[in-house]
Amino acid sequence: MRLILASQSRFRAGLLEAAGLGVEALAAHVDEAEVKQAARAEGASAEDTAMLLASLKAERIARRHPEALVIGADQMLVCEGAWFDKPPDLAAARAQLLALRGRAHTLVTAVLCQRGPQRVWQHVARPRLVMRHFSEAFLDQYLALEGEVLTTTVGAYRIEGPGLQLFDRIEGEHSEIVGLPMLPLLGFLRQHGVLPA
């Protein structure tokens, strides 16, 4: 069966490819900032908002490719009730990391599969991460090392790279943190005959 990832996230596509899945990645072009703002105004939870974004992405691609199984995903960072977005530049990334320093946050990670107009499966993971009390000297060194790639992630860090040094404790499976809960997704694909059992 044709598999399409409704995203051009190289992190998510890399997880799928590493697991041996042949998948196409297509951009869904959803205005995430507008959707989040409207959801927040309506009192929606971070879980519901992440699932809404994943759904909008999948629906948009599934309309154009109804024969395919479309994977939609989205991730929101929540710290003590505040929602964080991808920082627009390194100055914003620095401010965001300082705001998260010494605190726990949750990466609400939603994934769903859609075929044509029908949603056939969905899952939400909630890995919890605790940042250590790092020094500003360490932070400046980290920002210089990682550079603009930090503006492509909701947490302003890459857990699969030097960003691991930011943390004291991590609770959750690696792929959930990177942005796509792979073990539940692979289980669904096996159950529905997309992958061999």
Query: Are the beta carbons of 146 and 93 closer than 8 angstroms?
Result: no
User: How is the chain split into domains, by residue range?
Assistant: 3-191
pLDDT at 166 over 90: yes
Share of the chain above pLDDT 70, in %: 100
Give pLDDT, residue 197: 87
The C-alpha atoms of residue 81 and residue 105 are separated, in whole angstroms, by 9
Give pLDDT, residue 164: 96
Residue with tokens 């989205």: 74
What is the token pair recorded at 54? 């994943």
- Measured in residues, the chain has a length of 197
For the stretch 25-65, pLDDT in tens is: 999 999 999 999 999 999 999 999 999 999 999 999 999 99
Active site residues: 74
For the stretch 109-135, pLDDT in tens is: 999 999 999 999 999 999 999 999 999
Specify whether domain 3-191 bears CATH 3.90.950.10: yes
